[in-house]
Amino acid sequence: MGQLADILFTNVNLATMDPKSKIAYGIVENATLVVKNGLIGWAGPAADASAFEAQITHDCAGAWMTPGLIDCHTHLVFAGNRASEFEMRLKGASYEEIARAGGGIVSTVTSTRAASKDDLIRDARNRLAALKTEGVTTVEIKSGYGLDLENETKMLEAATALSGDDVRILRTFLGAHALPPEYKDDGNAYIDLVCNEMIPAIAKAQLMEAVDGFCENIAFSTDQIERVLVAAKAHGLPVKLHAEQLSDQGGSQLAARYGAISVDHLEFLSNDGVDAIAKSGTVAVLLPGAFYFLKETKLPPIQLLRDKNVPLALATDCNPGSSPITSPLLILNMACTLFGLTPEEALLGMTLNGAKALHMDDQIGSIEVGKRADLAIWAIDHPAELSYWMGSNPLSARIFNGKFAA
Protein backbone atom coordinates (compact mmCIF):
# COMPACT_ATOMS: atom_id res chain seq x y z
CA MET A 1 0.00 0.00 0.00
CA GLY A 2 1.33 3.46 -0.95
CA GLN A 3 1.59 6.55 1.19
CA LEU A 4 -1.85 7.95 2.02
CA ALA A 5 -2.81 11.43 0.86
CA ASP A 6 -5.97 13.52 1.06
CA ILE A 7 -6.15 14.36 -2.66
CA LEU A 8 -4.17 13.36 -5.72
CA PHE A 9 -4.30 15.82 -8.61
CA THR A 10 -3.36 13.84 -11.69
CA ASN A 11 -2.93 14.53 -15.39
CA VAL A 12 -1.95 18.11 -14.67
CA ASN A 13 0.72 20.50 -15.89
CA LEU A 14 2.34 22.56 -13.15
CA ALA A 15 3.60 26.14 -13.27
CA THR A 16 5.21 25.85 -9.86
CA MET A 17 6.87 29.31 -9.76
CA ASP A 18 9.47 27.55 -7.65
CA PRO A 19 12.52 29.86 -7.41
CA LYS A 20 14.83 26.84 -7.36
CA SER A 21 13.68 25.71 -10.79
CA LYS A 22 15.85 26.53 -13.80
CA ILE A 23 12.86 26.18 -16.14
CA ALA A 24 10.57 29.10 -17.06
CA TYR A 25 7.54 29.20 -14.75
CA GLY A 26 9.00 26.20 -12.93
CA ILE A 27 7.08 24.04 -15.38
CA VAL A 28 6.52 20.33 -14.74
CA GLU A 29 4.41 18.73 -17.47
CA ASN A 30 2.34 15.55 -17.10
CA ALA A 31 2.55 15.85 -13.33
CA THR A 32 0.85 14.71 -10.15
CA LEU A 33 0.37 16.84 -7.05
CA VAL A 34 -0.30 15.39 -3.60
CA VAL A 35 -2.24 17.23 -0.87
CA LYS A 36 -1.92 16.09 2.74
CA ASN A 37 -3.36 17.97 5.74
CA GLY A 38 -3.89 21.12 3.72
CA LEU A 39 -0.28 21.22 2.55
CA ILE A 40 1.52 20.25 -0.63
CA GLY A 41 2.90 16.81 0.19
CA TRP A 42 4.59 16.10 -3.11
CA ALA A 43 4.64 17.43 -6.68
CA GLY A 44 6.46 16.07 -9.68
CA PRO A 45 6.30 13.94 -12.80
CA ALA A 46 3.42 11.47 -12.84
CA ALA A 47 5.83 8.61 -13.48
CA ASP A 48 7.35 9.18 -10.04
CA ALA A 49 4.04 9.34 -8.13
CA SER A 50 3.24 5.64 -7.81
CA ALA A 51 4.04 5.66 -4.08
CA PHE A 52 0.91 7.73 -3.27
CA GLU A 53 -2.72 6.72 -2.81
CA ALA A 54 -5.76 8.79 -1.86
CA GLN A 55 -9.48 8.40 -1.45
CA ILE A 56 -9.97 11.42 -3.73
CA THR A 57 -8.25 11.58 -7.11
CA HIS A 58 -8.94 14.58 -9.30
CA ASP A 59 -8.10 14.14 -12.97
CA CYS A 60 -7.24 17.61 -14.29
CA ALA A 61 -7.53 16.46 -17.91
CA GLY A 62 -4.32 18.16 -18.98
CA ALA A 63 -5.15 21.54 -17.45
CA TRP A 64 -2.54 23.82 -15.89
CA MET A 65 -2.13 24.40 -12.17
CA THR A 66 -0.51 27.45 -10.60
CA PRO A 67 -0.26 28.68 -7.05
CA GLY A 68 -3.39 30.53 -5.97
CA LEU A 69 -3.14 34.18 -6.98
CA ILE A 70 -2.23 36.73 -4.31
CA ASP A 71 -3.60 40.28 -4.34
CA CYS A 72 -1.13 41.99 -2.03
CA HIS A 73 -2.46 45.57 -2.18
CA THR A 74 -6.18 46.40 -2.05
CA HIS A 75 -8.52 48.90 -0.45
CA LEU A 76 -11.43 46.50 -0.71
CA VAL A 77 -13.47 47.88 2.22
CA PHE A 78 -15.16 51.20 1.46
CA ALA A 79 -18.57 52.74 0.83
CA GLY A 80 -19.85 54.59 -2.20
CA ASN A 81 -17.98 55.21 -5.44
CA ARG A 82 -16.30 58.09 -7.25
CA ALA A 83 -17.70 57.76 -10.76
CA SER A 84 -18.37 61.51 -10.80
CA GLU A 85 -14.67 62.20 -10.28
CA PHE A 86 -13.86 59.82 -13.12
CA GLU A 87 -16.02 62.00 -15.30
CA MET A 88 -14.32 65.16 -13.99
CA ARG A 89 -10.90 63.80 -14.89
CA LEU A 90 -12.08 63.00 -18.40
CA LYS A 91 -13.10 66.67 -18.66
CA GLY A 92 -9.60 67.79 -17.71
CA ALA A 93 -9.29 67.86 -13.91
CA SER A 94 -6.24 66.11 -12.43
CA TYR A 95 -6.29 63.65 -9.55
CA GLU A 96 -4.37 66.19 -7.47
CA GLU A 97 -6.77 69.04 -8.31
CA ILE A 98 -9.77 66.91 -7.33
CA ALA A 99 -8.10 65.93 -4.05
CA ARG A 100 -7.22 69.51 -3.15
CA ALA A 101 -10.80 70.59 -3.87
CA GLY A 102 -12.16 68.18 -1.26
CA GLY A 103 -12.74 65.20 -3.50
CA GLY A 104 -10.63 62.12 -3.74
CA ILE A 105 -9.98 60.09 -0.64
CA VAL A 106 -11.89 62.48 1.62
CA SER A 107 -15.11 61.97 -0.33
CA THR A 108 -14.85 58.23 0.27
CA VAL A 109 -14.17 58.94 3.94
CA THR A 110 -17.53 60.71 4.19
CA SER A 111 -19.37 57.72 2.69
CA THR A 112 -17.44 55.16 4.71
CA ARG A 113 -18.05 56.94 8.01
CA ALA A 114 -21.77 57.00 7.26
CA ALA A 115 -21.91 53.29 6.42
CA SER A 116 -22.51 50.55 8.97
CA LYS A 117 -20.04 47.73 9.40
CA ASP A 118 -22.60 45.37 7.87
CA ASP A 119 -22.88 47.66 4.85
CA LEU A 120 -19.11 47.63 4.42
CA ILE A 121 -18.96 43.84 4.73
CA ARG A 122 -21.73 43.34 2.18
CA ASP A 123 -20.18 45.60 -0.45
CA ALA A 124 -16.64 44.33 0.10
CA ARG A 125 -17.80 40.73 -0.08
CA ASN A 126 -19.07 41.35 -3.61
CA ARG A 127 -15.70 42.77 -4.65
CA LEU A 128 -13.90 39.91 -2.95
CA ALA A 129 -16.07 37.40 -4.82
CA ALA A 130 -14.88 38.86 -8.11
CA LEU A 131 -11.24 38.35 -7.07
CA LYS A 132 -11.91 34.77 -6.03
CA THR A 133 -13.55 33.90 -9.34
CA GLU A 134 -10.21 34.68 -11.02
CA GLY A 135 -8.12 32.44 -8.80
CA VAL A 136 -7.22 34.65 -5.83
CA THR A 137 -6.70 32.83 -2.52
CA THR A 138 -4.99 35.55 -0.43
CA VAL A 139 -5.93 39.23 -0.22
CA GLU A 140 -4.45 42.14 1.69
CA ILE A 141 -7.04 44.77 2.72
CA LYS A 142 -6.09 48.24 3.90
CA SER A 143 -8.09 50.62 6.04
CA GLY A 144 -7.68 54.36 5.42
CA TYR A 145 -11.19 55.62 4.67
CA GLY A 146 -12.21 56.11 8.30
CA LEU A 147 -9.41 58.42 9.50
CA ASP A 148 -10.49 58.27 13.11
CA LEU A 149 -10.22 55.47 15.62
CA GLU A 150 -13.88 54.45 15.51
CA ASN A 151 -14.13 54.20 11.74
CA GLU A 152 -10.67 52.76 11.09
CA THR A 153 -11.58 50.07 13.61
CA LYS A 154 -14.89 49.52 11.85
CA MET A 155 -13.10 49.03 8.53
CA LEU A 156 -10.60 46.56 9.96
CA GLU A 157 -13.37 44.63 11.71
CA ALA A 158 -15.17 44.43 8.36
CA ALA A 159 -12.00 43.13 6.71
CA THR A 160 -11.68 40.54 9.48
CA ALA A 161 -15.24 39.37 8.85
CA LEU A 162 -14.38 38.65 5.20
CA SER A 163 -11.87 35.98 6.16
CA GLY A 164 -13.22 32.46 5.91
CA ASP A 165 -12.56 28.89 4.92
CA ASP A 166 -12.09 29.78 1.26
CA VAL A 167 -9.82 32.86 1.35
CA ARG A 168 -7.05 34.36 3.48
CA ILE A 169 -7.31 38.02 4.51
CA LEU A 170 -4.42 40.12 5.80
CA ARG A 171 -5.25 43.50 7.31
CA THR A 172 -3.16 46.67 7.03
CA PHE A 173 -3.77 49.85 9.01
CA LEU A 174 -3.56 52.89 6.71
CA GLY A 175 -4.57 55.69 9.05
CA ALA A 176 -1.98 57.98 7.42
CA HIS A 177 -3.83 57.94 4.11
CA ALA A 178 -5.17 61.48 3.96
CA LEU A 179 -6.12 64.32 6.28
CA PRO A 180 -9.69 64.05 7.58
CA PRO A 181 -11.78 67.24 7.35
CA GLU A 182 -11.45 67.95 11.07
CA TYR A 183 -7.64 68.08 10.73
CA LYS A 184 -7.37 69.68 7.30
CA ASP A 185 -5.17 72.51 8.59
CA ASP A 186 -3.06 70.54 11.06
CA GLY A 187 -1.40 67.48 9.61
CA ASN A 188 1.00 67.10 12.52
CA ALA A 189 -1.85 66.93 15.01
CA TYR A 190 -3.48 64.19 12.96
CA ILE A 191 -0.23 62.24 12.85
CA ASP A 192 -0.15 62.59 16.65
CA LEU A 193 -3.56 60.91 16.73
CA VAL A 194 -2.42 58.12 14.40
CA CYS A 195 0.75 57.41 16.38
CA ASN A 196 -0.40 57.95 19.96
CA GLU A 197 -3.97 56.66 19.90
CA MET A 198 -4.89 54.74 16.77
CA ILE A 199 -1.89 52.45 16.37
CA PRO A 200 -1.79 51.46 20.06
CA ALA A 201 -5.54 50.78 20.21
CA ILE A 202 -5.73 48.83 16.95
CA ALA A 203 -2.61 46.86 17.83
CA LYS A 204 -4.12 45.95 21.20
CA ALA A 205 -7.30 44.79 19.44
CA GLN A 206 -5.15 42.64 17.11
CA LEU A 207 -6.86 44.01 14.04
CA MET A 208 -3.82 44.46 11.79
CA GLU A 209 -0.84 42.60 10.44
CA ALA A 210 1.02 45.69 9.15
CA VAL A 211 1.02 49.50 9.02
CA ASP A 212 1.06 51.56 5.82
CA GLY A 213 1.16 55.26 4.94
CA PHE A 214 0.80 57.56 1.93
CA CYS A 215 4.02 59.54 1.45
CA GLU A 216 3.11 62.07 -1.22
CA ASN A 217 2.82 65.80 -1.80
CA ILE A 218 -0.98 65.58 -1.49
CA ALA A 219 -0.77 63.41 1.62
CA PHE A 220 2.05 63.25 4.20
CA SER A 221 5.68 64.31 4.28
CA THR A 222 8.57 61.96 4.93
CA ASP A 223 8.98 63.46 8.41
CA GLN A 224 5.34 62.75 9.24
CA ILE A 225 5.46 59.25 7.78
CA GLU A 226 8.64 58.48 9.68
CA ARG A 227 6.76 59.10 12.91
CA VAL A 228 4.15 56.54 11.79
CA LEU A 229 6.84 53.98 10.99
CA VAL A 230 8.49 54.53 14.37
CA ALA A 231 5.15 54.02 16.15
CA ALA A 232 4.48 50.84 14.16
CA LYS A 233 7.90 49.41 14.95
CA ALA A 234 7.41 50.22 18.63
CA HIS A 235 4.45 47.82 18.56
CA GLY A 236 6.38 45.15 16.68
CA LEU A 237 4.45 45.66 13.46
CA PRO A 238 5.85 45.32 9.92
CA VAL A 239 5.61 48.43 7.74
CA LYS A 240 4.97 49.18 4.09
CA LEU A 241 4.46 52.40 2.17
CA HIS A 242 2.63 54.05 -0.71
CA ALA A 243 5.56 55.87 -2.29
CA GLU A 244 6.58 57.79 -5.40
CA GLN A 245 3.20 57.57 -7.11
CA LEU A 246 2.80 61.21 -8.17
CA SER A 247 6.20 62.66 -7.28
CA ASP A 248 9.54 61.69 -5.78
CA GLN A 249 9.34 62.38 -2.05
CA GLY A 250 12.11 59.97 -1.05
CA GLY A 251 9.57 57.69 0.57
CA SER A 252 11.26 54.55 -0.70
CA GLN A 253 14.56 55.45 0.98
CA LEU A 254 12.65 56.13 4.20
CA ALA A 255 10.80 52.83 3.93
CA ALA A 256 14.06 50.99 3.31
CA ARG A 257 15.62 52.44 6.46
CA TYR A 258 12.79 50.90 8.46
CA GLY A 259 12.98 47.53 6.73
CA ALA A 260 9.63 47.90 4.96
CA ILE A 261 8.09 44.74 3.52
CA SER A 262 7.09 46.65 0.39
CA VAL A 263 6.90 50.01 -1.30
CA ASP A 264 3.98 50.39 -3.68
CA HIS A 265 3.23 52.40 -6.87
CA LEU A 266 6.78 53.70 -7.64
CA GLU A 267 6.23 55.54 -10.92
CA PHE A 268 8.60 58.33 -9.76
CA LEU A 269 11.11 56.03 -8.06
CA SER A 270 14.64 57.41 -8.33
CA ASN A 271 17.91 55.56 -8.82
CA ASP A 272 18.71 56.21 -5.15
CA GLY A 273 15.33 54.78 -4.20
CA VAL A 274 15.98 51.64 -6.21
CA ASP A 275 19.38 51.22 -4.57
CA ALA A 276 17.84 51.65 -1.12
CA ILE A 277 15.10 49.05 -1.52
CA ALA A 278 17.47 46.64 -3.24
CA LYS A 279 19.77 46.74 -0.21
CA SER A 280 16.90 46.41 2.29
CA GLY A 281 15.21 43.48 0.52
CA THR A 282 12.00 45.48 0.15
CA VAL A 283 9.51 44.29 -2.49
CA ALA A 284 8.42 46.70 -5.23
CA VAL A 285 4.65 46.41 -5.68
CA LEU A 286 3.56 47.65 -9.09
CA LEU A 287 -0.01 48.85 -9.55
CA PRO A 288 -0.71 49.19 -13.26
CA GLY A 289 -4.45 49.56 -12.69
CA ALA A 290 -3.99 52.96 -11.04
CA PHE A 291 -1.46 53.96 -13.71
CA TYR A 292 -4.03 53.08 -16.39
CA PHE A 293 -7.07 54.59 -14.70
CA LEU A 294 -5.37 57.91 -13.92
CA LYS A 295 -3.89 58.03 -17.44
CA GLU A 296 -0.38 58.43 -16.03
CA THR A 297 2.61 58.57 -18.35
CA LYS A 298 5.62 58.25 -16.01
CA LEU A 299 6.63 54.59 -15.97
CA PRO A 300 8.26 52.86 -12.99
CA PRO A 301 11.96 52.11 -13.62
CA ILE A 302 11.31 48.46 -14.45
CA GLN A 303 14.68 47.65 -16.01
CA LEU A 304 16.63 49.20 -13.15
CA LEU A 305 14.55 47.24 -10.64
CA ARG A 306 15.32 44.07 -12.63
CA ASP A 307 19.01 44.93 -12.77
CA LYS A 308 19.09 45.33 -8.98
CA ASN A 309 17.15 42.06 -8.45
CA VAL A 310 14.30 43.79 -6.62
CA PRO A 311 11.29 41.42 -6.40
CA LEU A 312 8.40 42.78 -8.49
CA ALA A 313 4.90 42.11 -7.15
CA LEU A 314 1.58 43.06 -8.72
CA ALA A 315 -1.81 43.87 -7.23
CA THR A 316 -5.18 45.24 -8.26
CA ASP A 317 -5.06 48.21 -5.84
CA CYS A 318 -8.85 47.87 -5.90
CA ASN A 319 -10.19 51.20 -4.62
CA PRO A 320 -12.96 53.62 -5.55
CA GLY A 321 -10.83 56.52 -6.78
CA SER A 322 -7.84 55.41 -8.79
CA SER A 323 -8.23 51.68 -9.49
CA PRO A 324 -11.82 50.38 -9.40
CA ILE A 325 -10.59 47.02 -10.67
CA THR A 326 -11.53 43.59 -9.38
CA SER A 327 -9.81 41.55 -12.10
CA PRO A 328 -6.35 40.21 -11.27
CA LEU A 329 -6.13 38.70 -14.75
CA LEU A 330 -6.57 42.15 -16.27
CA ILE A 331 -3.76 43.38 -14.02
CA LEU A 332 -1.49 40.65 -15.39
CA ASN A 333 -2.19 41.92 -18.90
CA MET A 334 -1.70 45.57 -17.92
CA ALA A 335 1.63 44.76 -16.30
CA CYS A 336 2.81 43.32 -19.61
CA THR A 337 1.30 45.85 -22.00
CA LEU A 338 1.86 49.03 -19.94
CA PHE A 339 4.97 48.24 -17.88
CA GLY A 340 6.71 45.77 -20.18
CA LEU A 341 6.82 42.80 -17.82
CA THR A 342 7.03 39.37 -19.37
CA PRO A 343 4.09 37.02 -18.74
CA GLU A 344 6.33 34.99 -16.43
CA GLU A 345 7.30 38.10 -14.44
CA ALA A 346 3.65 39.09 -14.21
CA LEU A 347 2.55 35.71 -12.89
CA LEU A 348 5.47 35.70 -10.46
CA GLY A 349 4.23 39.12 -9.31
CA MET A 350 0.87 37.68 -8.30
CA THR A 351 2.24 34.48 -6.80
CA LEU A 352 5.64 34.19 -5.12
CA ASN A 353 6.51 37.90 -5.14
CA GLY A 354 3.01 38.78 -3.98
CA ALA A 355 3.63 36.44 -1.06
CA LYS A 356 6.95 38.16 -0.38
CA ALA A 357 5.14 41.50 -0.22
CA LEU A 358 3.08 40.04 2.64
CA HIS A 359 5.96 38.25 4.39
CA MET A 360 4.28 34.93 3.59
CA ASP A 361 6.56 33.47 0.94
CA ASP A 362 7.59 30.71 3.34
CA GLN A 363 3.95 29.50 3.34
CA ILE A 364 2.32 30.39 0.01
CA GLY A 365 3.10 31.70 -3.47
CA SER A 366 4.72 28.69 -5.12
CA ILE A 367 4.10 24.98 -5.54
CA GLU A 368 6.68 23.52 -3.16
CA VAL A 369 6.48 20.68 -0.68
CA GLY A 370 5.41 21.92 2.74
CA LYS A 371 3.65 25.05 1.54
CA ARG A 372 -0.09 25.49 1.88
CA ALA A 373 -2.11 23.91 -0.88
CA ASP A 374 -3.49 27.18 -2.24
CA LEU A 375 -3.87 26.39 -5.93
CA ALA A 376 -5.64 27.41 -9.11
CA ILE A 377 -6.47 25.16 -12.06
CA TRP A 378 -6.78 26.79 -15.49
CA ALA A 379 -8.18 25.60 -18.83
CA ILE A 380 -5.23 26.92 -20.84
CA ASP A 381 -2.49 25.53 -23.05
CA HIS A 382 0.34 27.57 -21.52
CA PRO A 383 0.74 29.85 -18.46
CA ALA A 384 1.41 32.88 -20.71
CA GLU A 385 -2.28 32.83 -21.58
CA LEU A 386 -3.12 34.20 -18.12
CA SER A 387 -1.60 37.51 -19.21
CA TYR A 388 -2.80 37.24 -22.80
CA TRP A 389 -6.57 36.87 -22.73
CA MET A 390 -8.72 39.86 -21.83
CA GLY A 391 -12.36 39.59 -20.87
CA SER A 392 -12.37 35.83 -20.42
CA ASN A 393 -11.72 33.74 -17.35
CA PRO A 394 -10.14 30.31 -17.82
CA LEU A 395 -10.30 29.32 -14.14
CA SER A 396 -11.53 25.74 -13.72
CA ALA A 397 -11.10 25.32 -9.97
CA ARG A 398 -9.67 27.07 -6.93
CA ILE A 399 -8.20 25.17 -3.98
CA PHE A 400 -7.64 26.81 -0.60
CA ASN A 401 -5.76 25.02 2.17
CA GLY A 402 -6.15 21.79 0.26
CA LYS A 403 -9.92 22.00 -0.24
CA PHE A 404 -11.95 22.94 -3.29
CA ALA A 405 -13.36 26.44 -2.81
CA ALA A 406 -16.17 28.26 -4.55
Regarding whether 383 and 252 lie in a shared domain, the answer is: no
Instruction: Write the pLDDT tens digit of every residue in 7-54.
Output: 999 999 999 999 999 999 999 999 999 999 999 999 999 999 888 888
Regarding whether 162 and 243 lie in a shared domain, the answer is: yes
Residue type, 237: L
Regarding whether 55 and 189 lie in a shared domain, the answer is: no
Regarding whether 340 and 323 lie in a shared domain, the answer is: yes
Q: Report the CATH number at residue 155.
A: 3.20.20.140
Regarding whether 210 and 91 lie in a shared domain, the answer is: yes
Q: Tally the domains of the chain.
A: 2
Q: Report the CATH number at residue 399.
A: 2.30.40.10
Regarding whether 342 and 326 lie in a shared domain, the answer is: yes
Regarding whether 170 and 268 lie in a shared domain, the answer is: yes
Regarding whether 169 and 22 lie in a shared domain, the answer is: no
- Let me know if residue 334 belongs to a domain: yes
CA gap 251, 174 in Å, rounded: 15
Residue 230 sits at the vertex; the CA angle it makes with 208 and 78, to the nearest 5 degrees, is 35
Instruction: Write the pLDDT tens digit of every residue in 141-179.
Output: 999 999 999 999 999 999 999 999 999 999 999 999 999
- Let me know if residue 361 belongs to a domain: no
Regarding whether 155 and 92 lie in a shared domain, the answer is: yes
Regarding whether 73 and 62 lie in a shared domain, the answer is: no
Instruction: Write the pLDDT tens digit of every residue in 65-90.
Output: 999 999 999 999 999 999 888 888 88
Query: Which residues span the domain enclosing 169?
Result: 69-356
- Let me know if residue 142 belongs to a domain: yes
Beta bridge partners of 314: 286
Regarding whether 286 and 158 lie in a shared domain, the answer is: yes
DSSP track, 293-309: HTT------HHHHHHTT
Residue type, 314: L
What pLDDT score does 2 carry? Answer: 67
Regarding whether 299 and 151 lie in a shared domain, the answer is: yes
pTM, to two decimals: 0.96
The DSSP secondary-structure symbol of 171 reads E
What pLDDT score does 406 carry? Answer: 77
